[in-house]
Amino acid sequence: MSAVVVATLFTGSTVDAATSHRPSASPADAKALQQRHIERRAVEAVIWGMPAVNFQLMLDAFTAMGGSANQVVYWSRPVNWKDQTLTPNPDTIYLTPFYDTRNGPVVLEIPPEGDGSITGSVDTGWQNPLEDVGPAGADKGKGGKYLILPPGYKDPVPDGYIALPSETYQGFALLRSNLRSGSDADIASAVAYGKRVKFYPLPKAGAAPAETRFVDAYDKPYEATIPYDARFFDALNRFVQVEPWLSRDKAMIDTLASIGIVKGTAGDALAANKAAFDKATEEAHALIESWTEQVFIPPFYAGTHWALPASPKVVEGASTTFADPNSYPVDGRAVSYSLAYFSAKHLGAGQFYLMTIKDKDGNRMGAGKTYRLHVPAHPPVQLYWSATAYDGDTHALIRDTRWSSRGSNTPGLQKNADGSVDLYFGPAALAGKESNWVPTSPHGQFEVLFRFYGPEKSFFEKAWQLPDPQILK
């Protein structure tokens, strides 16, 4: 068959193939194209892989302090700035069991509500919630045995368990043992109640459960912020090597292979792409930051800048394991898990969150300025409310601060005559206001997350509204 015929068949044209032939790219051009190809695919990998890397880094931090699979990391006091996870809560007692079901199902026992209560959820390695636990969860405060099942598990579930089929082998539960107040006595009580949680591999018939191992992380470095450089891909590779490919993500197999992440291999090729990865993560970071601005539109309260830092599609997708076949909000998911970790199955049942990155005038907060946040009287919560400042770049607690938040369970919090509270955010306390002061850095930007634990109906009806922080000086 002649070249002319071939050209006719494929283009409908009788132009001679020899005259339409384009010269091959030079070796230098080909190398540049390949470099750009790697960078482009690496940007997509960062956006797609954000929740997995977020999880992997927390698991790595636990392993670095001597923890291992099917154990519980906990904080024996409310976390301080050394807990460098994304937007952690410094007004509770944290317990985080990390599960690994590669050797079979794992049991999480939640104690009944009584002299304490737990608000929490069990999430996969992709941070999709399997179920909520505690009074706002499946056990309704009666306590229960949750059985976390590995992917594809087919054996019968024993009686008396709440079955949680997981799409990943690994995952975690985020549990908060709620504080009545921040007094030493109430902290000790919440810790004691939290350590009634049990966590162990499902024992063989007739065997006793293994003892739960708790590892105390309080006041120890726990580094799990997102590294926007080549280290991101090392963490992503560790995740991919363990977890099964999900049907919705199989389009990423070739994308990852082209940058050196191939299931069943050691990932030795990653080092060769370090320069491309550093450039790609910088671009991905800039993209995610630009999208972050948009997640606050529209705000929760009209005329303010407060919003849930997750789009409706992300909230619905996470809670339903992306059941809608026409929706997979990977970009929005990257925004949410660049800011925070964990998803609730039923957001709003046990807790709700509002964040602002801007003050009343629409400017980013920080640069050494001081702000006042007026909290109107009677916030619609059954448990507590709190406001926490985070580093505007890393979204972790601001380093080297004495404390990071103030809330309704803060001992000595000053109230106004009408029951409202004024909080102050800045590098230094105003005279006479230290009890209501949240320290910030004299440099850089910060953001504020307002937590509602046990939100009441009136909160969602917006009968009570939180105004924006206002600059004082």
Q: Which residues of 83-99 are buried (b: 16+ CB within 10 A; e: fewer)?
A: bbbbbbbbbbbbbbbbb
Look at residue 352 in the predicted model and tell me its pLDDT.
Answer: 97
CATH number for position 453: 2.60.120.600
- Domain-terminating residue out of 196, 220, 244: 220
Answer whether 144's CB lies under 8 Å from 135's CB. Answer: no
Beta strand segments in 101-247, E: 106-110, 118-124, 129-133, 144-149, 161-165, 170-177, 198-201, 214-216, 222-223
**Looking at the structure, do residues 194 and 310 belong to the same domain, yes or no?**
no
pLDDT tens per residue across all 473 residues of the chain: 444 443 444 344 444 444 455 656 677 788 888 889 999 999 999 999 999 999 999 999 999 999 999 999 999 999 999 999 999 999 999 999 999 999 999 999 999 999 999 999 999 999 999 999 999 999 999 999 999 999 999 999 999 999 999 999 999 999 999 999 999 999 999 999 999 999 999 999 889 999 999 999 999 999 999 999 999 999 999 999 999 999 999 999 999 999 999 999 988 889 999 999 999 999 999 999 999 999 999 999 999 999 999 999 999 999 999 999 999 999 999 999 999 999 999 999 999 999 999 999 999 999 999 999 999 999 999 999 999 999 999 999 999 999 999 999 999 999 999 999 999 999 999 999 999 999 999 999 999 999 999 999 999 999 999 999 999 97
- 232 within domain boundaries: no
CATH number for position 112: 2.60.40.1610
**Looking at the structure, do residues 324 and 203 belong to the same domain, yes or no?**
no
**Looking at the structure, do residues 207 and 317 belong to the same domain, yes or no?**
no
Look at residue 188 in the predicted model and tell me its pLDDT.
Answer: 98
Look at residue 267 in the predicted model and tell me its pLDDT.
Answer: 84
Give the domain range for residue 90: 66-220
Question: How many domains does the chain fold into?
Answer: 2
- 86 within domain boundaries: yes
- Domain-terminating residue out of 220, 251, 278: 220
Look at residue 432 in the predicted model and tell me its pLDDT.
Answer: 96
- 245 within domain boundaries: no
**Looking at the structure, do residues 200 and 322 belong to the same domain, yes or no?**
no
Global pTM value: 0.93
- 176 within domain boundaries: yes
**Looking at the structure, do residues 74 and 197 belong to the same domain, yes or no?**
yes
**Looking at the structure, do residues 319 and 440 belong to the same domain, yes or no?**
yes
- 397 within domain boundaries: yes
- 82 within domain boundaries: yes
- 279 within domain boundaries: no
**Looking at the structure, do residues 330 and 422 belong to the same domain, yes or no?**
yes
- Angle subtended by helix axes 27-64 and 330-339, to nearest 10: 50
- 287 within domain boundaries: no
**Looking at the structure, do residues 316 and 463 belong to the same domain, yes or no?**
yes
**Looking at the structure, do residues 456 and 328 belong to the same domain, yes or no?**
yes
Look at residue 12 in the predicted model and tell me its pLDDT.
Answer: 45
**Looking at the structure, do residues 210 and 70 belong to the same domain, yes or no?**
yes
- Domain-terminating residue out of 165, 194, 220: 220
